[in-house]
């Protein structure tokens, strides 16, 4: 079968689905994307309100144009522009460190360690640990580190409390699990790539610009996208995929699901080996997140991105406030807000179970209390405020959980223990953050898109 003879249906237009669809169209496949929402992008979508463009979540992209998202755009000719996010901060209680894009230089590491209050006797050990975390390792070493927790890794170097706090917080920000279960290998992959590329970025036009630009390229390459087109089932005949049901039958030689590995496995449970199904359904997901999006009539927050953690020795602060990340996307991309105005996205992580309504509401209240404490007067500038909970994420991505990333980068399920995107039905693949990539959220989905597009090409050409 040549690529031009192969009809491909991609279910879902998240970063993984849209990227893979565009890459396959570029390789000459006949590609149709079916999306259940009326808009593209899934967990990385953007919306407009009163001249502001805000995102599903609270975002920053680790390597921007230098990473896999930029690679796909170049490969398919997508018009995707980036703005660097510079002058970022990490705040632990009353300790503040500002770091540059190139945060692994000797000077930056020392400034960060001083800023967060590492004790002088631990400084050298913390420096060595930081440097190691910011350095990519050979595959053989990464394989060992994949199965180790970040906490155990850091503990080999130092027991400095402030340093551990910082690394746990950064782990939460990058792979959205705590450092008690987050994989050291996966963390190093993210942290070192960010440091090496020195291009932490925001897509111009909002996170939704990523999927929109890929789908624009797909259509220019002859592919199709249909919105409001939920796939109800995947058709399997004679042990291989034959198409999908989406308000009618659509034939396909290859089906690529961006619905998530577990939802896809559940949909196909009658056709999958029991052992495979059991293993996939037991995989753990990353945490969920809630966010408060602020549309302000003034530039009230002067920092492009802050990771803020309360002082853990201050019981009152722990009760009133919450650790959170709050980028201000309209600083790197002023077009996201009307002139003189500002868009601030503040988010905190918690269980991915959308049924925990009370917890969601409590954490949202604490995000607002934290913002009022950190930026007094912010409420006087609110044009509108939007509180989004875990259920909001689950509704947008079409999954029963509202996890931020996907299958979590837990030390038990990355590297060689990560599920393959090649599902055990001929012609069926999973694409997106769940399988086939590594890295930070959208970049993991993009890596998966690249991997799956190569697998599909090999399959179609009988390689
Ligand atoms: C609050 C929050 C903050 C985040 N912050 C960052 C960040 O700072 N940096 C970063 O890189 N990443 C971040 N992420 C993670 C990142 O957004 C995701 O990991 C990534 O976008 C997942 O992409 P995906 O391709 O796996 O699929 P998804 O985004 O899950 O998209 C799946 C698509 O499939 C569609 N679909 C599902 N079922 C069907 C069906 N039956 N028929 C048709 N279509 C269907 C959905 O509607 C959706 O469009 C964040 C996510 C959240 C929620």
Which ligand 1 atom is nearest residue 432's CA?
26
Per-residue model confidence as pLDDT tens digits over 294-339: 999 999 999 999 999 999 889 999 999 999 999 999 999 999 999 9
Tokens for 432, please give them.
């997106």
393 CB under 6 A from ligand 1? yes
Q: Is 45 near ligand 1, meaning CB less than 6 Å away?
A: no
Please tell me the predicted confidence (pLDDT) of residue 334.
Answer: 97
Cα–Cα distance measured from residue 277 to residue 294, given in angstroms and rounded to the nearest whole number: 42
Contacts of 226 (CB under 8 A, 6+ apart): 32, 33, 34, 35
Taking phi over 0 as left and psi of -120 to 50 as alpha, with beta for the rest, 306 belongs to: beta
Report which protein residue has its CA nearest ligand 1's atom 34.
12
Q: Please give the Cα distance from 95 to 374 (Å, whole number).
A: 13
Pocket flag, ligand 1, residue 43 (CB < 6 Å): yes
pLDDT of residue 6: 87
Query: At which residue do the structure tokens 């279960």 appear?
Result: 181
Yes or no: say if 196 and 158 are a contact pair by the CB < 8 Å rule: no
Tokens standing for 374?
Answer: 């950190």
In the 8-state DSSP scheme, what is residue 30?
E
Query: Separation of 214 CA from ligand 1 center, angstroms?
Result: 15
Measured CA to CA, the distance from residue 75 to residue 293 in angstroms comes to 33
Residue 201 phi, psi dihedral angles, 5° rounding: -140, 170
**Any atom of ligand 1 within 6 Å of the Cβ of 63:** no
Beta bridge partners of 54: 47
* Residue 248: exposure state from Cβ atoms within 10 A (0-12, 13-18, ≥19): exposed
What phi and psi, each to the nearest 5 degrees, are found at residue 441? Answer: 15, -95
Sign, Cα dihedral of 272, 277, 283, 286: positive
CA of residue 294 to ligand 1 center, whole Å: 22
397 lines ligand 1 (CB under 6 A): yes
- Rounded Cα distance, 183 and 175, in Å: 9
Residues forming beta bridges with residue 235, ordered by sequence position = 243
Sort strands 30-34 and 224-226 into parallel, antiparallel or unpaired.
Answer: parallel
Helix (H, G, I), strand (E, B) or coil at 150: helix
Q: Give residue 59's pLDDT.
A: 83
From its phi and psi, is residue 381 left (phi > 0), alpha (psi between -120 and 50) or beta?
A: alpha
Q: What single DSSP character describes residue 418? A: S
Q: Whose CA is nearest to atom 45 of ligand 1?
A: 12
Mode of pairing for the β-strands spanning 30-34 and 82-84: unpaired
- 87-197 is a CATH 1.10.3470 domain: no
- Size of the chain in residues: 463
Joined together, the tokens standing for residue 127 give 């420096």
> For 122, which DSSP code?
G
Q: Is the CB of 21 under 6 A from ligand 1?
A: no
- Only one residue has tokens 């893979």, namely 20
Q: Which of 26, 347, 420, 68 is nearest to 215 (CA)?
A: 26
CATH architecture of residue range(s) 3-81+205-283+408-460: 3-Layer(bba) Sandwich (3.50)
Q: Which helix (H) or strand (E) holds 459?
A: helix 441-460
Closest-lying ligand 1 atom to the alpha carbon of residue 442: 11
CA distance 327 to 344: 6
Query: Count of alpha carbons within 13 Å of 329, Cβ hemisphere only?
Result: 29
Segments of the chain with pLDDT less than 70: 1-4
Residues 330 and 336: beta-carbon distance below 8 Å: yes
Q: Are 160 and 125 in contact (CB under 8 A)?
A: yes
Task: Give the Å distance between the CA of 442 and the centre of ligand 1.
Answer: 8
From residue 458, how far is each of 53, 113, 402, 427, 452 by CA, in Å? 40, 48, 33, 11, 10
- Overall pTM surpassing 0.95 (yes/no): yes
Closest atom, ligand 1, to C-alpha of 60: 8
């Amino acid at each position: 079968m040549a690529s031009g003879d192969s009809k491909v249906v991609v279910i879902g237009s998240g970063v993984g689905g849209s990227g893979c669809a565009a890459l396959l169209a570029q390789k000459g496949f006949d590609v149709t994307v079916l999306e259940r929402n009326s808009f593209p992008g899934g967990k990385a979508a953007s919306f407009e309100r009163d001249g502001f463009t805000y995102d599903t979540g609270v975002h920053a992209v680790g390597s921007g144009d230098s990473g896999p998202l930029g690679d796909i755009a170049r490969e398919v000719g997508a018009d995707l522009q980036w703005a660097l996010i510079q002058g970022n901060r990490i705040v632990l209680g009353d300790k503040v460190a500002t770091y540059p894009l190139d945060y692994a230089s000797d000077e930056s590491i020392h400034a960060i360690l001083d800023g967060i209050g590492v004790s002088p006797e631990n400084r050298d050990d913390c420096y060595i640990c930081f440097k190691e975390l910011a350095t990519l390792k050979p595959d053989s070493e990464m394989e060992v580190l994949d199965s180790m927790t970040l906490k155990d890794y850091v503990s080999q170097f130092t027991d400095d409390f402030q340093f551990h706090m910082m690394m746990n917080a950064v782990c939460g920000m990058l792979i959205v699990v705590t450092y008690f279960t987050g994989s050291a290998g996966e963390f190093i992959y993210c942290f070192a790539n960010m440091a090496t590329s020195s291009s932490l970025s925001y897509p111009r036009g909002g996170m939704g610009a990523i999927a929109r630009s890929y789908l624009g390229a797909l259509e220019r390459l002859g592919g199709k996208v249909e919105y409001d087109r939920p796939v109800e089932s995947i058709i399997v005949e004679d042990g291989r995929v034959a198409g999908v049901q989406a308000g009618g039958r659509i034939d396909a030689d290859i089906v690529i699901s961006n619905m998530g590995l577990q939802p896809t496995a559940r949909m196909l449970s009658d056709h999958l080996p029991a052992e495979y199904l059991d293993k996939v359904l037991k995989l753990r997901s990353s945490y969920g997140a809630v966010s408060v999006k602020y549309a302000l009539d003034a530039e009230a927050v002067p920092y492009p991105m802050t990771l803020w953690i309360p002082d853990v020795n201050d019981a009152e602060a722990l009760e009133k406030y919450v650790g959170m990340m709050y980028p201000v996307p309209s600083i790197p991309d002023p077009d996201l807000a009307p002139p003189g105005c500002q868009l601030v996205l503040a988010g905190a992580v918690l269980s991915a179970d959308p049924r925990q309504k009370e917890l969601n509401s409590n954490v949202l209240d604490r995000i607002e209390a934290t913002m009022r404490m950190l930026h007094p007067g912010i409420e006087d500038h609110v044009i509108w405020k939007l509180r989004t909970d875990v259920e909001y994420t689950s509704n947008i991505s079409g999954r029963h959980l509202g996890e931020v990333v996907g299958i979590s980068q837990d030390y038990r399920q990355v590297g060689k223990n990560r599920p393959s995107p090649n599902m055990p039905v001929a012609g069926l693949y999973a694409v997106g953050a769940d399988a086939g990539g590594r890295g930070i959220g959208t970049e993991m989905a993009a890596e998966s898109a690249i991997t799956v597009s190569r697998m599909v090409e090999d399959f179609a050409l009988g390689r």
